[in-house]
Structure 1
């Protein structure tokens, strides 16, 4: 059994038996300790704090308000919220009210999958109440038969109550159900994991003991609260020990890794979680920030937990080495990394490597060992065939776990529960591991999932889509997870049998087309290409006795180099194709750029052709900034405009442009609004109009998903380049854009889309093309209403500057609003100086901004606003698709019903209103664009394109 946590003797409970005891004890003993929150909308590090005492009072008042629903004790409440604080408050309120909270991760934006999941949940629980926010309501409003409550309404009601600080509606017993967690559902619909007060407390006591937590500890968490790591390991566990907590929305860390270091410095953080991919990203993104070396106090960190995927030893070592460079006192830094294993079924981490300084003690293997179980937990390795025969020390087999922190059952699913346990109460994890000298390490996975950057993807769904590719023999394709030696994160390999003869006369062109199609599907579905695509003749593709392709067998043969001849043949064929188009870089400038390209994409310099396109190689918006900085440094140039890199993505064309800069022979280019971001594919091109800030770099990450499918063009506003005048009217801008679209694509059908303010422009361009007799089959507006004039009149130079600054991440949302009355009396120059001082230096560096450039950018944005001040929509287009994200202000329900729905008046055909993930300014970022592109592509196809 897990040891009982020892607390100082007081008149209070010394060993909590239920979660109710945990929050009561925290508020009683440590009333002034704090919970801190950085929200999804915060562009800076502003932290909202709440003391344990205040939080305890708030959630008990909230619990009292929830009782007004009149639900019987034990009723299930689906908690579907975004922010950590809201989730936290809702879960505690449900517990204290005697209800059973079930944490719901973000629903799919695909309507069919979303409806199927919700129907499954309703069936699983018989009946359940949803507690959500305005965004959640908008996402599920189309699904009938749901009882939905808004958290904002419940909070308002809760403010009317002031219950006692120890008030509860029901005193639970240790073995009562406490919280339900939904599994990922990567291979089907989710199962609901049932954890009791006893299982959760057993895990939290043992975890806190393993981490060395005390009431003086300070932890940082960025994992979502719907995940067991976010809610249990990094909230209830530290709460049990009285530790202060800072919860940060994930995108705030992923978008700006430096923010993590600043928070460690400012808040004296002792413990945080960082999976392997984040360690790699932090190291990679921060390696160039030599200006901050020796500037931060990182001595508070005692331990970094890591899990979700295997941790590469070299990655962990490089991370620690980089962090010490940033530290004011490197010798005082002990960045120890504790690699761990855990599952939803085990209340998160239950096996951890003993934390050691990996720079002082070199890891013995390529991946960090996972080590030994926490107190009360047991592990064993058995033969997966019978689930019982123990494997000898050092031999791999299926990992089993047993202990008081293991879940009790899957809700309303006796079959899944029964199949998950074997005699003796051992839980079958489905992972393959090795135990040697008492320490465990994973060596594979039995389950049908691929884990990429900590996110699980279902293999069957991926394989189903890959099977549709021309050139693939039906049912002779398998995708298997694989991590190459030295690779930082897990990837996958595709094995398949081609329908054509690999020795045929046209084998090279067919193989190239097949592999390109397979790669494109992978990128679109899981945002990552396969490491290898291996064509194997059908008579050499082995099947099991049940007629299935064995992924484990294929990977085993691959590791033994049994497929070397097939890989070599594929390389020969690709060389034939590539030899016909490869152009060796010839000038010094081309050679230098080829070397930079090679470094960014981690390929051999000799493999980079002068004809290679930066974006077709996989370049992202972040890679553009890297190319810009490295090129400026190499060629000793003060500035290579980002847009010129986008306009000259080929090695040869960028070399010509750089040569012109070096010779000071560059001339003012004639303005062309068209910026080609992706030129491959035969389907109808898509033209994307800029948002109100006029720039189009934001579309780079979206464009790559259309490679080999359809060209992707962006329309950029006039005025960024010296000598180019600003647009004076909407008519002038629309005329210019319509003419540019016609020059680029002579005949219809056309597909036009616009993001934010660009949606109105896209609508007008479509009308202009129709007036020319052309067919426009697709018109998309993204989060903009048709009637904008009123809003445009409200935006002056000051508001425009602050809107742009918020869009660029220079000021947080609340500052953008609060600064308006402060800045208005100042001159434009003085206003810019204020914003400049508030701006994070790393953002200014990223955008290569100067005060002068920012001022010019504001002028461009203001000119666009001016073009819209007298705009009144009229006429119609054949059909319109309206994409709806969270608005800047107000609720999403009101935004859709009262602001976006009027687009129906300007569509001759049936309009569609499509929910998309993210907020107005975040739906194109790395977190949301993978999902957005799927939805957007679906609408293109629905319109016949």
Structure 2
């Protein structure tokens, strides 16, 4: 039996199973296609993890061994952590590994060295990621589960009796400034945090908690699992991708599971608000009366965002008067067991005082103070800014095997130096910046030193005279950054404008590729005005404070003058009425002055996205009174003067039926090998617009679009006809190799065939990228009838949800084709139909195009081989990711003469290229291109 008051984590599990055996842990996995929740009672979970722990002993490791737990699903992580604790091992939770091979190998070697051993517990897919690294002892969770199924230990079995000050769990820091440190938390530190958090949140055995933060994060494992378990609270854990791909699920779960406490960082609140505020069809759709508190952390919360979020939830609630909850911004770190300072605020009744919500007061046992950052101990007065320090029983004991980092993190009296700049006023804390070298984009930390290292390589930058610093402009939704640098050329020299233009373009490109975001501002400062510290460093704090005080205004205005001069050199004033009208529309979309628009401006080089394309199309049609400007023509004519010529031809009804050309150029700058991307099974290429912009000034990006969209163009009738047409088009566009070809979904098998065809003509194909498609597709093609094809397309276009697409098929099949279309039409969000400018006739025709591609795939049987294949895999449409990889995708090995690679990418089959995932996808994809020497 456990003690009356738990003193170790093992006691927490025993108490939960004894007192609340039928309370539940629910899990929604990354591959769940609906809202189905896998449930384990506390009692059954307790039995399950003790059997796993017993099976772990068969590894024969001494008590206290560190086990690196590398798993993606909440249930697997949770079970592995408890099994380690009960077996007497110390779990170390490993977040997703870098997609860059060198960084990944360096990190794994560092971890191996740190623990002087390397025992990993992972899945087949995880093992695939680390199997190129020697000296690891890898255990598969599937094998451990199999072994555990033969055990049935008593419900209170433990291999090892833990003591309060034993190491319990290790968490890895983000490693944003070099390699990760391992934060050691003992049973005592974790329990101290859990008791104090539970008290602060008002946890009871009747509380229901919703968590979607990964278990490798202290907020996911300690704040949203251990603390609720200590108080007997039921929990639902959802894989983040399930919420990000369908934000409504967040509200459905609050409604269905009567959730009282949830976690939502600033970027999720902003995303939910953006996605849901226009959904008038959902007014009054959810019972949200149960929710009482939403904790938030990870990045600062904008007051307006939080207020809009509260307003949206009230609007969508069945009874707005019953909706009463606090949003509780929190401050916490891995080192403090997540949140230790909170400020619960009811935004329906309280008007925030500042642009960001305050972070509040410490939980029981925790203390905070603001000190002079230089000496780390002189306490600052009320309302003065300085370094935030905290102490208390929830603060970690040490960094594993790193005495130096541990001692430099504490000052006398046991105060931990957080590295954040804060202000305490009337006992309430708020942050005013960071001493640390990171910028947070949508809750993800990126290392500034690493970014600076790459930016230093740009021609035009004086080495070691460049600094990037985090900055959030007033009213900005997420954090950004500014680059300060000294140019190698004279800003008053005769060719200064062209050099500055090229330098700034290169700095912007590198930033977008590394941290998915361009700088808000690039400020060139002549070297004699750039001060360094006595240690020869640029002071970021000083540069940002000079900027805020307006001291750099003259450098900024000189830069703007030179850049507009550079633009002026290639500036062509719009002359015709059509060009002027389009210039006005472009200016409106990109928030630029109409007078700055050149007739030679390219829509995509200005930053146009797929959503902007739709806006340009709509505004152009409205202005010119045209029934339609086809999207494809905007993609083919992104330059103002060229689009104006096309529009004039439409207005004079002088457009000849164009000859079909599958090639759609989405980005033409850069001199590296071009990439050709084959359309997915819906035949259209708009999905690639957001991806293409990441290749600006690096390599041209061409998409291949199916035949049949334009009047008079027949559909393809066989795979061979399509491949011949595409291979010829690629050769016309790029006469000589080496070639780089890729295809998304259905387009993957077409890309494979095009690569083979090009090789058969004697050309070198150095890269063939296949995205989430197995080699054998014929059976799947035979399964898809007209109804299935229409629902697939409708889901892909965002007209119906995944759940609708699955549920509707049986009820639609008996109906006529027209009736089926009408059902989908009624379900479609009106704003999405307007955005896509769909009519029922167009949707009907589009289903036929997709159907023609399915017909071409029905007899497809892969044969032969390509010189090399790179396969990218995401969560499949059905089944587990591991089965998808091992059973469906691995057969590509037989069709590649070189070593095929398999790379995990974030997102699900239909979402891996959307706004949330494309920033990560492009980094991974470009990494593979570079690895192939392109």
Q: Same fold (TM over 0.5)?
A: yes
Q: Distance in 2 between matches of 1:377 and 1:748?
A: 64
3-state SS of the aligned residue for 1:736? helix
Deviation of 1:450 after TM superposition, in Å, equals 1.5
Residues 628 and 642 of structure 1 are in contact (CA less than 8 Å); yes or no, is this contact kept in structure 2?
Answer: yes
Structure 2 equivalent of residue 254 of structure 1: 244
**Structure 2 gap ranges (5+):** none
Residues 523 and 555 of structure 2 are in contact (CA less than 8 Å); yes or no, is this contact kept in structure 1?
Answer: yes
Structure 2 equivalent of residue 124 of structure 1: 114
- Report the CA distance shift for 1:616/1:656 in structure 2 as closer, same or farther (over 3 A): same
Whether 1:401 and 2:390 are equivalent positions in the alignment is yes
Structure 2 equivalent of residue 110 of structure 1: 100
Match of 1:423 among 399, 412, 417: 412
Structure 1 equivalent of residue 165 of structure 2: 175
Deviation of 1:522 after TM superposition, in Å, equals 0.2
Q: Distance in 2 between matches of 1:294 and 1:821?
A: 29
Structure 2 equivalent of residue 532 of structure 1: 521
Aligned length: 930
- What pairs up with 1:614-633 in 2 under 5 angstroms? 614-624=603-613
Moved more, 674-683 or 537-546: 674-683
Structure 1 equivalent of residue 562 of structure 2: 573
3-state SS of the aligned residue for 2:500? helix
Cα displacement string for residues 164-211 of structure 1 (whole angstroms, at most 9, x for unaligned residues): 333333332222221111111111111111111111111111112212
- Report the CA distance shift for 1:481/1:831 in structure 2 as closer, same or farther (over 3 A): same
Structure 1 equivalent of residue 154 of structure 2: 164
Deviation of 1:763 after TM superposition, in Å, equals 3.4
Deviation of 1:309 after TM superposition, in Å, equals 1.6
Moved more, 74-83 or 357-366: 357-366
Cα displacement string for residues 432-482 of structure 1 (whole angstroms, at most 9, x for unaligned residues): 111111111111211221122221111111111001111111111111111
Q: Distance in 1 between matches of 2:871 and 2:182?
A: 35
Whether 1:372 and 2:361 are equivalent positions in the alignment is yes
Structure 2 equivalent of residue 485 of structure 1: 474
Cα displacement string for residues 867-915 of structure 1 (whole angstroms, at most 9, x for unaligned residues): 24444555665655454666665636635895021123xx4xx455252
Q: Distance in 2 between matches of 1:580 and 1:785?
A: 50
Residues 298 and 328 of structure 1 are in contact (CA less than 8 Å); yes or no, is this contact kept in structure 2?
Answer: yes
- Report the CA distance shift for 1:317/1:790 in structure 2 as closer, same or farther (over 3 A): closer
Q: Distance in 1 between matches of 2:307 and 2:214?
A: 27
Structure 2 equivalent of residue 72 of structure 1: 62
Deviation of 1:936 after TM superposition, in Å, equals 3.1
Structure 1 equivalent of residue 665 of structure 2: 676
Q: Distance in 2 between matches of 1:455 and 1:64?
A: 37
- Report the CA distance shift for 1:642/1:218 in structure 2 as closer, same or farther (over 3 A): farther
Cα displacement string for residues 135-187 of structure 1 (whole angstroms, at most 9, x for unaligned residues): 10211122222222222222233333333333333332222221111111111
Structure 1 equivalent of residue 903 of structure 2: 915
Residues 774 and 891 of structure 2 are in contact (CA less than 8 Å); yes or no, is this contact kept in structure 1?
Answer: yes
3-state SS of the aligned residue for 1:65? helix
Cα displacement string for residues 521-546 of structure 1 (whole angstroms, at most 9, x for unaligned residues): 00000000001100011111111111
Residues 681 and 709 of structure 1 are in contact (CA less than 8 Å); yes or no, is this contact kept in structure 2?
Answer: yes
Q: Distance in 2 between matches of 1:502 and 1:230?
A: 51
3-state SS of the aligned residue for 1:891? helix
Deviation of 1:58 after TM superposition, in Å, equals 2.4
Deviation of 1:565 after TM superposition, in Å, equals 0.5
Q: Distance in 1 between matches of 2:735 and 2:468?
A: 41
Match of 1:296 among 266, 281, 286: 286
Cα displacement string for residues 65-119 of structure 1 (whole angstroms, at most 9, x for unaligned residues): 3233232222222111111122112212222222211111001111111111111
Residues 138 and 893 of structure 1 are in contact (CA less than 8 Å); yes or no, is this contact kept in structure 2?
Answer: no
Structure 2 equivalent of residue 901 of structure 1: 893
- Report the CA distance shift for 1:610/1:375 in structure 2 as closer, same or farther (over 3 A): farther
- What pairs up with 1:849-928 in 2 under 5 angstroms? 856-873=845-862, 880-883=869-872, 891=883, 894-895=886-887, 898-904=890-896, 907=897, 910-918=898-906, 921-926=910-915, 928=917
3-state SS of the aligned residue for 1:24? helix
3-state SS of the aligned residue for 1:265? helix
Residues 30 and 875 of structure 2 are in contact (CA less than 8 Å); yes or no, is this contact kept in structure 1?
Answer: no
Deviation of 1:399 after TM superposition, in Å, equals 1.0
Moved more, 812-821 or 758-767: 812-821
Structure 2 equivalent of residue 18 of structure 1: 8
- Report the CA distance shift for 1:50/1:872 in structure 2 as closer, same or farther (over 3 A): closer
Residues 175 and 196 of structure 1 are in contact (CA less than 8 Å); yes or no, is this contact kept in structure 2?
Answer: yes
- What pairs up with 1:348-359 in 2 under 5 angstroms? 348-353=338-343, 355-359=344-348
3-state SS of the aligned residue for 1:530? coil
Measured on the aligned residues, the alpha-carbon RMSD in Å equals 3.6
Q: Distance in 2 between matches of 1:293 and 1:634?
A: 33
Structure 1 equivalent of residue 260 of structure 2: 270
Deviation of 1:847 after TM superposition, in Å, equals 6.3
3-state SS of the aligned residue for 1:234? helix
Cα displacement string for residues 9-55 of structure 1 (whole angstroms, at most 9, x for unaligned residues): xx986532222222233333333333222222234433333333332
Residues 269 and 301 of structure 1 are in contact (CA less than 8 Å); yes or no, is this contact kept in structure 2?
Answer: yes
- Report the CA distance shift for 1:317/1:696 in structure 2 as closer, same or farther (over 3 A): same
Whether 1:455 and 2:447 are equivalent positions in the alignment is no
Q: Distance in 2 between matches of 1:381 and 1:49?
A: 45
- Report the CA distance shift for 1:764/1:408 in structure 2 as closer, same or farther (over 3 A): same
Whether 1:145 and 2:142 are equivalent positions in the alignment is no
Moved more, 582-591 or 543-552: 582-591
Q: Distance in 1 between matches of 2:227 and 2:919?
A: 33
Deviation of 1:343 after TM superposition, in Å, equals 0.1
Structure 2 equivalent of residue 545 of structure 1: 534
Whether 1:209 and 2:199 are equivalent positions in the alignment is yes
Moved more, 803-812 or 322-331: 803-812
Q: Distance in 1 between matches of 2:622 and 2:22?
A: 50
Cα displacement string for residues 541-566 of structure 1 (whole angstroms, at most 9, x for unaligned residues): 11111111111111111111111100
Q: Distance in 1 between matches of 2:162 and 2:594?
A: 65
Cα displacement string for residues 555-608 of structure 1 (whole angstroms, at most 9, x for unaligned residues): 111111111100000110111122345567788987787676566555566655
- Report the CA distance shift for 1:59/1:587 in structure 2 as closer, same or farther (over 3 A): farther
Cα displacement string for residues 324-363 of structure 1 (whole angstroms, at most 9, x for unaligned residues): 333343343334322211000000001112x223353322
- Report the CA distance shift for 1:129/1:773 in structure 2 as closer, same or farther (over 3 A): closer
Match of 1:467 among 441, 456, 459: 456
Deviation of 1:282 after TM superposition, in Å, equals 2.5
- Report the CA distance shift for 1:397/1:419 in structure 2 as closer, same or farther (over 3 A): same
Structure 2 equivalent of residue 329 of structure 1: 319
Residues 251 and 927 of structure 1 are in contact (CA less than 8 Å); yes or no, is this contact kept in structure 2?
Answer: no
Structure 1 equivalent of residue 750 of structure 2: 761
Structure 1 equivalent of residue 125 of structure 2: 135
Q: Distance in 2 between matches of 1:634 and 1:175?
A: 72
- What pairs up with 1:728-767 in 2 under 5 angstroms? 728-767=717-756
- Report the CA distance shift for 1:303/1:791 in structure 2 as closer, same or farther (over 3 A): closer
- Report the CA distance shift for 1:331/1:627 in structure 2 as closer, same or farther (over 3 A): farther
Whether 1:96 and 2:96 are equivalent positions in the alignment is no
TM-score, normalised relative to structure 2: 0.90
3-state SS of the aligned residue for 1:726? coil
Moved more, 427-436 or 820-829: 820-829
Moved more, 115-124 or 214-223: 214-223
3-state SS of the aligned residue for 2:418? strand
Moved more, 190-199 or 301-310: 301-310
Moved more, 849-858 or 437-446: 849-858
3-state SS of the aligned residue for 1:338? strand
Deviation of 1:670 after TM superposition, in Å, equals 4.1
Residues 135 and 886 of structure 1 are in contact (CA less than 8 Å); yes or no, is this contact kept in structure 2?
Answer: no
- Report the CA distance shift for 1:564/1:268 in structure 2 as closer, same or farther (over 3 A): same
Match of 2:301 among 311, 314, 326: 311
